[in-house]
Amino acid sequence: MSPCTCVGQVLVTTVVLIISLIVGYTVLLPVENQQLLDSMASNIDEKMKLFKDKNLTAFIVGHTGEVGKEVVKELARSKIFSKVFLVGRREVKYDDELFKDFSMEQKIVDFDKLDDFADAFKDHSVGICLMGTTKGKAGKEGFKKVDYDYVMNVARLAKAGGCQHFNLMSSTGANKDSSFLYPRIKGQVEAETQELGFERLSIYRPALLLCNRQESRPGEWLAQKLLAPMEYLSPGTMTSPTTTVAKALINTIISQSTQAMEMFDSKSIQRISKPQTVKGKAEAAKQSEPKNEAPETQKEKQPDQE
């Protein structure tokens, strides 16, 4: 491939990504309101203590990815589970002091023969699926195998194994009817995972991930450089730091929910990740009095296609 062709592909990828993010931000997402998101980000220490007392276990797949690395760190810091099982194709060394007292076990599996490793998904109350690749890295068929086949097999085995709360990492712009491969696959996985009937399903749709990625993704790197200032001007609008996504996931897990399915876009993820100050009853009642203020409930934005 000539240098000109490579540069051209990078520019096209970047333009498509930026346009999809802008489109995604301009469409309404009628899922969560501001008040509920704030409640999920409040009383974190108290909720963590109550959750720990339940003595639950969890499994996580995709822990070697950029979001996965941060989620494992948050799980090690919070120790909200009595034990965490890291399910992957290879063993990872965790030599940092952070993981010294972290109760975890690594399960090595073959994702092409995942049914043979069904026991790795049995008897866990919480499942966390962060698997994902790109067409550029794995090719069209490789992308479909990882992001659809592998993810759906994990979800199916988790449900059969008794998982009550399944956490699925998706992407902004996920749309099963999209003409683009990436958002279409993400949307199909979301829809089919909902059909499995988990007691609680949490779907996360982060925007462009901000991180120091080790592998080379020129288009994404350029987009990160162009959009990074947005994280300071309007956090969660067009970018999602992997550290923010990880914190939001932990805060979601420890929070109770009355909904069987909840979906969080990038702005919701940003809000959940930030601890909120709990107001007193008198102050809350005062603020609830009719005034010339914006209503408390605010619909989130939903991306349509990428």
- 232 CB contacts (<8 Å, ≥6 apart)? none
Strands 300-301, 28-29: pairing is antiparallel
pLDDT at 135: 82
113 is catalytic: no
Provide the token pair at 217.
Answer: 């993704």
CA–CA gap between residue 238 and residue 231 (Å, rounded): 7
Q: What is the pLDDT of residue 84?
A: 98
> Could you tell me the CA-to-CA distances from 75 to 23, 58, 129, 206 in Å, in that order?
33, 10, 14, 19
**Distance linking the first and last C-alpha atoms of the chain:** 26
d(CA 239, CA 245): 10
* Full-model pTM: 0.76
Q: What is the pLDDT along the chain (306 residues), one digit of tens a residue?
A: 555 555 555 555 555 455 555 545 444 344 446 888 888 999 999 999 999 999 999 999 999 999 999 999 999 999 999 999 999 999 999 999 999 999 999 999 999 999 999 999 999 999 999 999 988 788 999 999 999 999 999 999 999 999 999 999 999 999 999 999 999 999 999 999 999 999 999 999 998 888 565 554 555 545 555 555 544 544 545 688 999 999 999 999 999 988 899 999 998 999 999 876 555 434 444 444 444 544 444 444 444 444
Is 83 assigned a catalytic role? no
List the helix and strand counts (H, then E) for the chain.
11, 11
From 144, 159, 186, 301, the catalytic residue: 186
Tell me how far apart the alpha carbons of residues 39 and 109 are, in angstroms, rounded to a whole number.
Answer: 38
**What own/partner pairs with CB < 8 Å and gap ≥ 24 does 68-77 have?**
68/130, 69/242, 70/211, 70/242, 70/243, 70/245, 70/246, 71/128, 71/130, 71/245, 71/246, 71/249, 71/250, 73/98, 73/246, 74/246, 74/247, 74/249, 74/250, 75/102, 75/104, 75/250, 76/102, 76/104
| 244 token code pair | 């923010």
Catalytic residue among 182, 204, 247, 267: 182
pLDDT for the residue 38: 86
Q: Which of 25, 42, 36 is nearest to 298 (CA)?
A: 36
Strands 208-210 vs 165-169: parallel, antiparallel or unpaired: unpaired
pLDDT of residue 59: 98
